[in-house]
């Protein structure tokens, strides 16, 4: 074992720094959570105090559950996020595999073209996208959001995944070909499992911006039936009065699924399954 790593002082410093960072990162979440269980008065009087018998109140949650169709918003957000992530990973991985595995005329150029999207924010094209969605009749459907988010996530996904796929051993793929696996089986059964950490990275990177996005839901799908959670929570934030209990409760709700998805993906990040394939 590395000597520097076993030095107790180093270990202490390292863990100290990590714990400190964790505390800073979790503090806002913690404040949101405790305040979502307090009365409005208590929130403003002592924002950092834990809820006690006097200040405890579920009024925020009650408002959220009564107001609008909160579970529908929740479901919409979930559908949009999961579907977009699925499509980003599927198409991103397939494009990345084609670019890294097969040589064909213009493959370099195509790779560059696909990566261009990393530098150009998709919001620049909002007007054109809205036009497109109106004329295809997709406006005010969840599909509008799913398609836009997929397009937004693909460039980085292709870029990262093709780098990783280039590192998958040729011998392994060739062994599969000799064993009679089809190109699709090689892709799904050999290559994808080996780039799983990269897939998880791409998923985590894309998940939060999609879940939190307010822009496209507001423009492309603002109807009651297609509202996402972020958009739905906006009703509690008014120009003059803001229902802080409801906002904090809605936010607390919104954190949970992201947390769950993150746990799922981050488990993949640390799986050491790749070792032992080759040398």
Partner 1 sequence: MTALTLTNVNKSFGAVHVLKDISLTVEDGEFVVFVGPSGCGKSTLLRVIAGLEDATSGEIRIAGEQVNLTPPSKRGIAMVFQSYALYPHLSVRKNMSLALRQEGQPKDVIEQRVANAARMLNLDPYLDRYPSELSGGQRQRVAIGRAIVREPKIFLFDEPLSNLDAALRMNTRIEIANLHRQLSASMIYVTHDQTEAMTLADKIVVLRDGRVEQIGSPMELYNNPANQFVAGFLGSPSMNFFPAGLVNEGDDRTMGVRPEDLFLSDDGPLLAQVIHVEHLGGDTNVIANVQSHQVTARLFGQHSIEAGQSLRLGFSAQKTFHFDADGLPAA
Does 100 bind partner 1 (CB under 8 A)? Our answer is no
**CA-CA distance, 233 to 64, in Å (whole number)?**
8
Residue bearing tokens 């307010």: 214
Token pair of 121, please? 């924010």
Does 178 bind partner 1 (CB under 8 A)? Our answer is yes
**Which of these ranges, 28-36, 82-90, 169-177, 205-213, lies near partner 1 under the rule CB under 8 A?**
169-177
Return the exposure string of 104-130: e unless at least 16 CB atoms fall within 10 Å of the residue's CB, then b: eeeeeeebeebbebeeeebeeeeeebe
Does 166 bind partner 1 (CB under 8 A)? Our answer is no
Of 67, 49, 48, 47, which is closest to residue 59 (Cα–Cα)? 67
Does 19 bind partner 1 (CB under 8 A)? Our answer is no
Write the burial class of residue 190 (CB in 10 Å: 0-12 exposed, 13-18 middle, 19+ buried).
Answer: middle
Does 172 bind partner 1 (CB under 8 A)? Our answer is yes
Does 179 bind partner 1 (CB under 8 A)? Our answer is yes
CA 225 to chain centre: 22
Does 3 bind partner 1 (CB under 8 A)? Our answer is no
**Which of these ranges, 62-70, 172-180, 202-210, 243-251, lies near partner 1 under the rule CB under 8 A?**
172-180
Does 197 bind partner 1 (CB under 8 A)? Our answer is no
Q: How far is the CB of 189 from partner 1 (least distance, A)?
A: 8
SS3 content of the chain, % helix, strand, coil (to 5): 75, 0, 25
Q: Give the number of residues in contact with partner 1, rule: CB under 8 A.
A: 22
Q: Which is nearer to partner 1, 176 or 232 (CB)?
A: 176
Does 193 bind partner 1 (CB under 8 A)? Our answer is yes
For binding to partner 1 (CB under 8 A), which residues are involved?
A: 169, 171-172, 174-181, 190, 193-194, 272-279
């Amino acid at each position: 074992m590395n000597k520097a790593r076993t030095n107790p002082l180093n270990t202490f410093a390292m863990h100290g720094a990590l714990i400190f960072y964790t505390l800073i990162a979790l503090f806002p979440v913690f404040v949101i959570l405790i305040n979502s269980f307090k009365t409005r008065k208590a929130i403003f009087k002592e924002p950092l105090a834990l809820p006690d018998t006097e200040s405890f109140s579920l009024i925020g949650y009650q408002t959220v559950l009564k107001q609008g169709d909160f579970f529908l918003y929740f479901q919409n957000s979930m559908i949009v996020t999961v579907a977009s992530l699925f499509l980003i990973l599927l198409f991103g991985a397939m494009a990345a595999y084609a670019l890294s595995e097969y040589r064909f005329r213009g493959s370099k150029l195509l790779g560059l073209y696909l990566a261009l999207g990393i530098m150009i924010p998709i919001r620049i094209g909002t007007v054109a996208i809205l036009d497109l969605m109106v004329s295809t009749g997709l406006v005010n459907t969840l599909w509008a959001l799913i398609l836009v988010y997929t397009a937004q996530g693909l460039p980085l996904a292709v870029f990262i995944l093709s780098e990783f796929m280039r590192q998958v051993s040729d011998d392994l793929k060739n062994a599969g070909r000799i064993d009679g696996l089809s190109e699709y089986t090689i892709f799904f059964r050999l290559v994808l499992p080996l780039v799983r950490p990269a897939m998880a990275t791409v998923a985590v990177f894309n998940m939060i911006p999609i879940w939190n996005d307010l822009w496209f839901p507001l423009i492309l799908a603002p109807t009651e039936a297609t509202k996402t959670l972020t958009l739905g929570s906006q009703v509690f934030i008014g120009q003059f009065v803001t229902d802080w209990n409801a906002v904090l409760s809605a936010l607390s709700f919104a954190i949970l699924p992201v947390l769950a998805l993150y746990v799922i993906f981050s488990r993949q990040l640390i799986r050491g399954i790749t070792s032992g394939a080759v040398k």
